[in-house]
Structure 1
Amino acid sequence: MERTLAQTAAHLGLTRPKLIALMRERDLLKGNLPAYPNRDKEYLRVKDSTWYDEKYGLQYSQSTRVQQAGIHWLAEQLDIDLPSIPADRRDVA
C-alpha cells in the first residue's frame, strides 16, 4: 500500500504543507519529488500521471508516494513519534 503526501501527513498528525516543509528541511524532497529517488526507493517513489487537456493536449505530472515501509522511516527521519497501535483486547475473556 502506498499513500499520498496528504494521507501520510494525516497519519503522522501533520498537515501536508508542514510535512513537505519538514521533508525539504531534511533534504528528502526537492520541490515535491524525492531528492534521492534511488537511495530512498524502498520508502518513496515517483508516480507518473497523464491526462488530456482540450486546449494543451496530453499533459504529464509527477507526484510523490510513500510506501508502507516509508511511514516508520519517515517518522524516524523527521523525529516524529508515531501514535501507538491500541492493544487488541478481543482475546482477553
Structure 2
Amino acid sequence: FESTNEGVISLEVTQANNEVAMLYQDNGKGLSESHLEKLFDAFFTTKREDGGSGLGTHIIYNLVTQSLSGHIEARSEPYQGLTYSIHFPTGLGA
C-alpha cells in the first residue's frame, strides 16, 4: 500500500455448484507484468531488503492447488491493486 494513504482490502466468498469461490482485491501499488508472471515462484520477492522470503504466495499456491484441489489466479497492473481469484471444491475430507 505504498502508493496510497488508505489501504483497502476486500474479500468475497461464495459457494455454488459444489465449489467455493474467494475473491481478494486490494488497492495497493499493484505489480508489473514481469513480476506477476513470477508471483507464485518460490523465493520470488521484491522485498528482500525488508526481510521478505519470497515464500508467501508460493505456499498459498501449493495449499490451494494441492491441499484444496483448486486453482488460483492473480491479476494486477502497476498502481491498480491486486486481485486473487481462488476456487476449490466443497466437501473436502467428507
Same-fold call, TM cutoff 0.5: no
Q: Please identify which structure carries the higher helix content.
A: 1
The structure that has the greater radius of gyration is 1
TM-score relative to the length of structure 1: 0.28
Which of structures 1 and 2 has the larger relative contact order (alpha carbons within 8 angstroms, sep 6+)? 2
